[in-house]
Chains A and B, each alone.
Chain A
Amino acid sequence: MATAETAVSLSDVRKTYRIGEPVHALDGVSLEVPEGSYTAIMGPSGSGKSTLMNLVGCLDTPTEGEVVVGGRAVDTLDDRERTRLRGTEVGFVFQTFNLMPRLNAVENVALPQLFQGIDRTERRERARDLLERVGLADRGDHLPNELSGGQRQRVALARALVNDPAIVLADEPSGNLDTDTEAEILDLFDEFHDAGTTMIVVTHERHVAERADRIVHLLDGRIERIEELEGDGAVEPASRTGSSEPTEADSE
Chain B
Amino acid sequence: MNPLESLRLAWRSIRGHKLRSALTTLGIVIGIAAVIAFVTLGASLQAGIIGDISPDDQRNVYGWAADPDTEGGPLAGAQPVFTDDDLAAVGDLDEVEAAYGYATIQTQAISNGEETVAQGNGLIASGPSYIREERLAEGRQFRQGEREAVLNPAAANQFEENVTVGDELTVTILGGERRTVEVVGITDTSEGQSPFEGFESSPRVYVPTDPYYTEQASGLGAGGGDDGGDNESAGESGEARFLAIIVEAPSDDEADIDAARESATDYLESDRSDASEFLGDDLAVTFRTSTELLQQLQDVLDLLRNFIVGIAAISLLVGSIGIANIMLVSVTERTREIGIMKAVGAQNRDVLGLFLTEAVILGVIGAILGTGLGLIGGYVGAEYVDLPLVYPLEYVALAIVVGILVGVLAGLYPAWRAARTDPIDALRYE
Query: Which residues of A line the B interface, CB within 8 A?
Result: 54, 57, 59-60, 79-80, 83-84, 86-88, 92, 94, 98-103, 111-112, 114-117, 120, 159, 163, 252
Contact = CB atoms under 8 A, between A and B. Distances in A.
A163 B345 CA distance: 10
A51 to B, nearest CB: 9
Given A114-B5, A117-B1, A87 B427 contact: no
A100 B351 CA distance: 14
Nearest to A252: B428
Given A100-B337, A117-B2, A112 B12 contact: no
Counting from the closest, the 6 A-B pairs by CB-CB distance are A87-B345, A112-B344, A115-B345, A115-B346, A98-B340, A102-B16
A90 B5 CA distance: 23
Interface in B3-40: 5, 12-13, 16
Interface string B338-379: 011111111110100000000000000000000000000000
B5 to A, nearest CB: 6
A86 B345 contact: yes
13 contacts: A59-B424, A60-B424, A80-B348, A83-B347, A84-B347, A87-B345, A92-B343, A100-B341, A102-B13, A112-B345, A114-B5, A117-B1, A117-B2
A252 B430 CA distance: 12
A184 B350 CA distance: 35
Given A98-B427, A102-B13, A59 B343 contact: yes
B427 A115 contact: no
Contacts of A163: 345
Nearest to B337: A100
Contacts of B13: 102
Given A54-B424, A59-B423, A114 B1 contact: yes
Given A59-B424, A79-B348, A102-B13, A111 B341 contact: yes
Contacts of B5: 114, 120
Contacts of B428: 252
Contacts of A86: 343-345
B147 interface: no
Nearest to A87: B345
Contacts of B423: 59
A100 B343 CA distance: 12
B344 A111 contact: yes
Contacts of B336: 98
Contacts of B12: 102-103
B427 A116 contact: no
Among B2, B16, B350, B424, the one with the most A-chain Cβ atoms within 10 Å of its Cβ is B424
Contact of A83 (B2, B339, B342): B342
A2 to B, nearest CB: 21
Interface in B309-356: 336-337, 339-348, 350
Contacts of A94: 427
Contacts of A98: 336, 339-340, 343, 427
A252 B427 CA distance: 10
Contacts of A111: 340-341, 344
Contact of A84 (B337, B345, B424): B345
Nearest to A57: B343
A74 B309 CA distance: 55
Given A94-B427, A114-B5, 13 more contacts: A80-B347, A87-B344, A92-B344, A98-B340, A101-B16, A111-B341, A112-B344, A115-B341, A115-B346, A115-B347, A117-B2, A163-B345, A252-B428
Contacts of B347: 80, 83-84, 115
Given A87-B344, A102-B12, A102-B16, A115 B350 contact: yes
A92 B346 CA distance: 14
Given A54-B424, A59-B423, A115-B350, A101 B337 contact: yes
Nearest to B346: A115
A101 B15 CA distance: 13
Contacts of A84: 345, 347
A87 B339 CA distance: 13
A83 B1 CA distance: 13
B19 to A, nearest CB: 16
A1 B102 CA distance: 103
Nearest to A84: B345
Contact of B346 (A59, A83, A103): A83
B118 to A, nearest CB: 72
A68 B190 CA distance: 88
Nearest to B428: A252
A100 B342 CA distance: 12
Nearest to A91: B344
Contacts of A114: 1, 5
Contacts of A92: 343-344
A87 B345 CA distance: 4
Given A102-B12, A114-B1, A114-B5, A83 B345 contact: yes
A54 B343 CA distance: 10
Contacts of A252: 428
A210 B179 CA distance: 120
Contacts of B1: 114-115, 117
A78 B147 CA distance: 97
Interface in B407-430: 423-424, 427-428
A198 to B, nearest CB: 18
A123 to B, nearest CB: 10
Nearest to A169: B343
A94 B12 CA distance: 24
Contact of A116 (B342, B345, B424): B345
B225 to A, nearest CB: 87
A240 to B, nearest CB: 30
Contact of B344 (A60, A80, A159): A159
A100 to B, nearest CB: 6
A142 B345 CA distance: 23
